[in-house]
Amino acid sequence: MSGVGVFATALIGIFAGWFADLVLGRRHSLFFKLLIGVIGAFIGVFIAQRLELPLAGFWGGLIVASIGATLFLAVLGLIRRPA
């Protein structure tokens, strides 16, 4: 996520974590949403770079982080689900 500052990155993380919570029907704290969003941003950037998608700036970062955070929560839900 190039071209955004620390404050914008934190906002992107919070929004991405909130979006992932909303999509998957979960309820987490603000801190956990930020953590989900930051981890999701790393996952999303990794995937976007492998697919050579040119997403930059606030909106590109938000899209990439939201997709990554949703994937992260979905996989985490599969791992933590009792059998």
Which pLDDT band, with edges at 50, 70 and 90, does 83 fall under?
A: low
Nearest to 9 by CA among 42, 47, 49, 52: 42
Could you identify the residue written with the tokens 């953590």?
35
Structure confidence at residue 4 (pLDDT): 60
Which tens digits make up the pLDDT trace of 14-57? 888 888 888 888 777 878 888 888 888 888 888 888 888 877 77
For 2-78, list the strands marked E by DSSP. Answer: none
72 residue type, one letter: F
**Angle 46-48-53 from CA coordinates, rounded to 5°:** 150
Structure confidence at residue 45 (pLDDT): 80
